Chain A
């Protein structure tokens, strides 16, 4: 099915370990996003890429890096994981950043840092 694919679905890390969350979309969308979801906090933007070759910080970028590998793929890297990064991470894409375009979300990566 067309859409946004995230890998892995689940991950447990030890404090200080690093990992990369992968995201790919097959809808030829220009813009891609990474959000984290925590209980009572809603969806908070980590980073986004309005178009291939550009990335911008969101509300909570500290401790994360991103790479827009090509038009399809947008990865999120945790260099040194901390317990505060325990969360559900969602990747999304849209035809373009800005108004009137709905986002398509992946099914999420549930990350636990111990």
Chain B
């Protein structure tokens, strides 16, 4: 059972454009929603995270939008740059001391 569904699987965006990656979850007990960024040959690294008590969180060019009623959250990358080309994973977890559940990932390619 896939608890966190991520789309699209791959994304090509022109330099300066907006990249949007979406995730949907099923477990209403989830209360922590991070995004991780992974470059080839490296481990994932935390990019930005949100709790369900806010609808949006922004850090530089990266924004998470959260819709609790729809059980969806998304990552927006403004002014996308070639250096943003990477694989992005959404994830979710609960307070119950369990581990993060990851989506299947989105490979982003920003063309110059």
Contacts and interface: CB of A to CB of B under 8 A. Distances in A.
Which of B31, B43, B96, B97 has the most chain A CB within a 10 Å cutoff? B43
Interface in B55-110: 89, 93-105
Task: Please classify how large the interface on chain B is, using the bins under 10, 10 to 19, 20 to 34, 35 or more.
Answer: 20 to 34
Given A107-B42, A108-B43, A42 B102 contact: yes
A91 B98 CA distance: 15
A103 B46 contact: yes
Contacts of A44: 102
A61 interface: no
Nearest to A50: B97
Instruction: Summarize B's interface: helix, strand, loop or mixed.
Output: loop
A100 interface: yes
Interface string A14-26: 0000000000000
Interface of B: 6, 9, 31-32, 34, 36, 41-46, 49, 51, 89, 93-105
Interface of A: 4, 31, 33, 35, 40-45, 48, 50, 56, 58-59, 90, 92, 96-100, 102-103, 105-108
